A and B are shown apart, each in its own frame.
Chain A
């Protein structure tokens, strides 16, 4: 299945793009998507454990299964204010 990952804040620098398409096995979870990104982008791998996933306008569980066509967002450590 194919999933689109939107990269917010510094995660766009770590991954070299604002959006990435991943081909994942059926039943893959958010954690699997993060693993795939970590395998591809060393700068992301170094910070993987600090990143949350959003789906729509909410934080998503990284253990929730994804579906073909899903769009998820990387939420790196925040610095509002």
Chain B
């Protein structure tokens, strides 16, 4: 297990992309696929000034590690996922998925599956803050077990 694998997957504040790319590329890998989610400044026509990410920390950490392991088992790749909690500004990174695999096809597939699963199986909640001073939690999806996705 590398040093990166031993670190928490849930981080306070915005994620730094470089922190999640420090592992060496396996010699057998021909693809490095990356997804990073960022905070945007508009949602359904409303101007957004920032986002608060709330989490059930213990369960979220467990679920992120489950998703990482499931991604590796399902697609035969190396996977690292991480999610931010706390206050983020426009443009800052809230979630990262890094996939290292043999070929691009399974890399893209693994990356999409991992981020889609994070959105449905990890107890994290977005609270949008608008320019008019209002804030609200976004509608989500009832939490799903990782093994069902």
Other-chain residue from B58, B138, B143 in contact with A52 (beta carbon distance below 8 A): B143
A81, B119: Cβ atoms under 8 Å? yes
A50, B142: Cβ atoms under 8 Å? yes
A75, B95: Cβ atoms under 8 Å? no
- Cα A8 to Cα B122 in complex, Å, equals 13
Q: Could you say which interface size class chain B belongs to?
A: 20 to 34
- Interfacial chain B residues near A59, Cβ < 8 Å: 59, 143, 145
- Interfacial chain B residues near A9, Cβ < 8 Å: 54, 123, 125, 137, 140
- Interfacial chain B residues near A51, Cβ < 8 Å: 142
Contact with B along A33-69 (1 / 0, CB 8 A): 0000000000000000011101011110000000000
A78 with B137: in contact, given A57-B62, A58-B59, A59-B145 (CB under 8 Å)? Answer: no
With both beta carbons as reference points, the residue of chain B lying nearest to A77 in the complex is identified as: B140
- Interfacial chain A residues near B126, Cβ < 8 Å: 79-81
Q: How many Å from the CB of B67 to the closest CB on chain A?
A: 10
With both beta carbons as reference points, the residue of chain B lying nearest to A6 in the complex is identified as: B56
Is A76 interfacial (CB 8 A cutoff)? yes
With both beta carbons as reference points, the residue of chain A lying nearest to B145 in the complex is identified as: A59
B142, A79: Cβ atoms under 8 Å? no
Instruction: Please count how many residues in chain A sit with their CB below 8 Å of the partner chain's CB atoms.
Output: 20
- Interfacial chain B residues near A73, Cβ < 8 Å: 56, 59
A78, B123: Cβ atoms under 8 Å? yes
A77 with B56: in contact, given A54-B123, A57-B62 (CB under 8 Å)? Answer: no
Is B124 interfacial (CB 8 A cutoff)? yes
Given contacts A9-B123, A59-B59, A78-B124, 17 further A-B contacts (CB under 8 A): A8-B54, A10-B125, A52-B142, A54-B59, A54-B123, A57-B61, A59-B145, A75-B143, A77-B142, A78-B122, A78-B142, A80-B53, A80-B119, A80-B123, A81-B37, A81-B94, A81-B119
Interface of B with A (CB < 8 Å)? 37, 53-56, 58-62, 83, 94-95, 115, 118-126, 137-143, 145
